[in-house]
Structure 1
Amino acid sequence: MRIFDQIEELANDKKCLVFVLIDEIESLGMSRQRSSASNEPVDAIRAVNALLTQIDRIRRNSNVLIMCTSNMDNSLDSALMDRIDFAQSVGLPGSKAALAILQGCISELSRIGKINDTNGSTDNEAQKRLMKLAEEAADKLSARSIRQIPVLACALAHKKSISLDKYVDFLELAMKEKLKKSDIPKSN
């Protein structure tokens, strides 16, 4: 695990604060007990052991902060969970966050010319419809899924450029498709 050697080298400079982010820790830190029970390869168990050893090694440095992300925290190894000083569940985006994601995507699509700038009441109406879409997505879809909806809407539109008002029509269709495919139950 050469990366941990590099982390330790950085941590040797006590003037540095070293942040280590391990995204999707479950890919390395899967429960060894579950792995054994499901006849996973021995390599998977060795990987967890090696990860735990390396985490212990770099944690000795007071200037190292290790952060991990997981969508499957219930499948993490118990020894890994014992090493966690603080755990925070983030959850799915609410309506304000969903709206910000959609607006950010629309802004970028406008910047590159996929959405024509419109003005007046159409923009206000489109914003109201966007807010409704954000409320539909709230607590049902992940941020990644919400970011996919504007791309799906572009694919549905089949046009080089489209008005904002018309684009929101396609966003509504894309949202319905995404919610239909979602594993999370939808409320009416």
Structure 2
Amino acid sequence: MTLPPHDAPKPTWRAWAREVRARQPDRSAEVCASLAAFLQARGARRVLAYHALPGEPDVGILAAEFELLTTRARFRPTPHLTLHPWDAAMEVSRFGVRQPPADAPRVALETVDAVLLPGLAFDRFGVRLGYGGGFYDRLLPAFSGLTVGVVWEALVVDALPTEPHDLRVGFLATEGGVRPLHP
């Protein structure tokens, strides 16, 4: 599929990214090896991660080296994410991802050293193309720790459409390694 023009609407970019992602081999082990070295070098211990959807790099192996946390999507009073221990994720959410039950113990974002963010695509400025719910955009504006986008190299583009509320990450992890971004 041809790369959309920069000013194409986000749904067009999402369709492109899903098609490209479907053709990528699973190189999660390579992504995780680079991430582990990167996080250890920066002293990260408590890491907010994600349970991978089909086609996403799977970062679950990092649970052997770090205290991983995961999220639960909540919709009332407004859509938001809560943080929980990694192993509490026993349910399947409406988005098809494993998440903790509603009554699982919560963890404060202020105790997190690093956040690993999934995305359909990222650009070289750290702009993330998410799935359209805005959950991470609402969770992380005041977060001062490490933010790392995790994606296949084929889904890193020069520029994505962006809106003022869109989250930018400081680093990008792919099967090629972890690199800093300069928003």
Q: Same fold (TM over 0.5)?
A: no
Relative to the length of structure 2, the TM-score reads: 0.25
Q: Give the number of the structure whose residues are more often helix, by fraction.
A: 1
**Structure whose alpha-carbon radius of gyration is higher:** 1
Q: Give the number of the structure whose residues are more often strand, by fraction.
A: 2
